[in-house]
Amino acid sequence: MLTEVGLLVGIVKNLVDITKSGSGLFGKRPDTSEAVEQLKERIAGLAEQLQQSVALSKMLPIWLKDHSEVDLFTENLTDHDVRLLDSRLRHLISDSIHDHFSGTFFRTSFACLPGVEAGIEAFRDRLLALEQQINGIVAGDAIAWRRAWPALKLRMHDLRIEAVKINNLADEVHSDLVNELRKAGS
């Protein structure tokens, strides 16, 4: 990430030099100031896309690790299992929607990343639906948790699949952006 930012800063510095001195970005004289402006806009777009892809690439693996703390393979829930499940699920959903992950998942637009916005919207919808279902269960009510557990497992599984898809797409977009910057710098 630091390499990409350093490269981006270097390109932006060269753009400033172009506008001041008239020399080209890569030793060539620009044809017009319009071309320079277009290049500046593309670099600004690349910076925004890098920021968004890094946000997802940093937060989704952490979220997936937290998600894996919920044992989706438990079949017969003991009272102890119910207490752990209740605590872990409520904590994960709260962190996802209202706390730790909410800035990335709910307060960041990913419109600049091709294909990501639709995926993140589906992910958000799944999180909100899961929160609504969990809020309908009285905390610690073992009978209600046992009854809801099959549906909750399915929702959690679907949420994980969606998160992995988004993470893979964000990594792919990030890689494409870095390659574009490298090509521009060579």
Tell me the pLDDT tens digit for each residue of 159-168.
999 999 999 9
Is 106:97 a contact under the CB 8 Å cutoff?
yes
Contact 25, 39 (CB under 8 A): yes
Read off the pLDDT of residues 82-125 as tens digits, 9 standing for 90 and up.
899 899 999 999 999 999 899 999 998 888 888 899 999 999 99
- The whole-model pTM stands at 0.76
Cα three-residue angle 29-30-34, rounded to 5 degrees: 165
- Map out the domains of the chain as residue ranges: 2-185
Look at 177 and 128; give whichever has higher pLDDT: 128
Across 65-89, b (16+ Cβ under 10 Å) vs e yields ebbeebeeeeeebeeebbebbbeeb
